[in-house]
């Protein structure tokens, strides 16, 4: 998969995407990730990327010219252009699975009060939000989504890491899990998990996942 990110803060991407599973996926050629500075597509002396909103109001907006030039330069036929903003559809595991099917993604991370509307109208294939809160810019949302999508790429997870038995894979929260020692400070691991009776263990886990989801996230049921 090819992922391009357009941002005013390329430096923020150094680190989170250079570790663990994402690092391995990049080294294995499963993910071709490139970070682009929007300011490189502004050609006036001050490399201006923002301006005041027509009609007044607080803050600044991202201008159309640098964004159009950058997106038209970076997006190919197959590229899905995704704006990141609180006005987007809320990202979740189902959307992560959907994006993991694509061949090329271009994330446009916002800043200031957001984008000139013509960018949204003319160039966006999709718009995503990582949650109902306001961040300083769209760099973290891009990293969150890239992390969730990368681990779904075939071959990204080693065999000791599994994508199928986890939260949201069956639409439910994950069941409680335990590892050695079987007793810790008098706290016992549930007997059923030590029984070796795999059918019984699967039943217990399914029931635990249902109960936990019902208690904590009835909206998922």
Encoded tokens for 99: 């994006």
Encoded tokens for 196: 């070796």
Answer for which of 12, 96, 130, 156 binds ligand 4FV (CB under 6 A) is 130
Report the Cα–Cα distance between both ends of the chain, in Å, rounded: 32
Shortest Cβ distance from residue 121 to ligand 4FV (Å)? 17
Q: How many other C-beta atoms can be found within 10 angstroms of the C-beta atom of residue 18?
A: 11
Q: Does 60 bind ligand 4FV (CB under 6 A)?
A: no
Q: How many other C-beta atoms can be found within 10 angstroms of the C-beta atom of residue 44?
A: 9
Q: Does 10 bind ligand 4FV (CB under 6 A)?
A: no
Residue nearest to ligand 4FV (CB): 110
Report how far residue 61's alpha carbon sits from residue 84's, in angstroms, rounded to the nearest whole number. Answer: 14
* DSSP labels, 33-61: EEEEEGGGG--STT---EEPPTT--SS-E
Q: Does 66 bind ligand 4FV (CB under 6 A)?
A: no
Report how far residue 12's alpha carbon sits from residue 165's, in angstroms, rounded to the nearest whole number. Answer: 32
Applying CB under 6 A, which part among 32-40, 136-144, 155-163, 209-217 lies near ligand 4FV?
136-144
Q: Does 221 bind ligand 4FV (CB under 6 A)?
A: no
Applying CB under 6 A, which part among 31-39, 130-138, 146-154, 179-187 lies near ligand 4FV?
130-138
Which of 108/172 has CB closer to ligand 4FV? 108
Site string for ligand 4FV, 139-178 (x = CB under 6 A): --x-------------------------------------
Answer for which of 55, 133, 179, 221 binds ligand 4FV (CB under 6 A) is 133
Q: Does 134 bind ligand 4FV (CB under 6 A)?
A: yes
C-alpha distances (whole Å) from 6 to each of 35, 74, 92, 98, 194 are 6, 9, 22, 21, 50
Report how far residue 75's alpha carbon sits from residue 106's, in angstroms, rounded to the nearest whole number. Answer: 7
Q: Does 84 bind ligand 4FV (CB under 6 A)?
A: yes
**Site of interaction with ligand 4FV (CB under 6 A):** 84-86, 110-112, 114, 129-131, 133-135, 137-138, 141
């Amino acid at each position: 998969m090819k992922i391009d990110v357009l941002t005013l803060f390329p430096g923020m991407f150094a680190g989170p995407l250079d570790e663990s599973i994402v690092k391995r996926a990049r080294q294995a050629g499963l993910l071709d990730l490139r970070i682009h500075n929007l300011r490189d597509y502004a050609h006036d002396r001050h490399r201006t990327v923002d301006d005041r909103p027509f009609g007044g109001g607080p803050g600044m907006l991202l201008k159309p010219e640098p964004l159009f030039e950058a997106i038209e330069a970076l997006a190919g036929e197959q590229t899905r252009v995704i704006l990141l903003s609180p006005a987007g559809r809320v990202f979740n595991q189902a959307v992560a699975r959907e994006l993991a099917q694509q061949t090329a993604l271009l994330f446009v991370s916002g800043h200031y009060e957001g984008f000139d509307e013509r960018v949204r109208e003319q160039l966006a294939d999709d718009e995503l939000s990582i949650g109902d809160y306001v961040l300083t810019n769209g760099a973290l949302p891009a990293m969150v989504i890239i992390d969730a999508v990368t681990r779904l790429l075939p071959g990204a997870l080693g065999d000791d890491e599994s994508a199928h038995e986890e939260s949201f894979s069956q639409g439910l929260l994950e069941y409680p899990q335990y590892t050695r020692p079987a007793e810790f400070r008098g706290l016992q691991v549930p007997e059923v998990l030590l029984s070796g009776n795999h059918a019984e263990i699967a039943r217990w886990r399914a029931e635990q996942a249902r109960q936990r989801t019902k208690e904590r996230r009835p909206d998922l049921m």
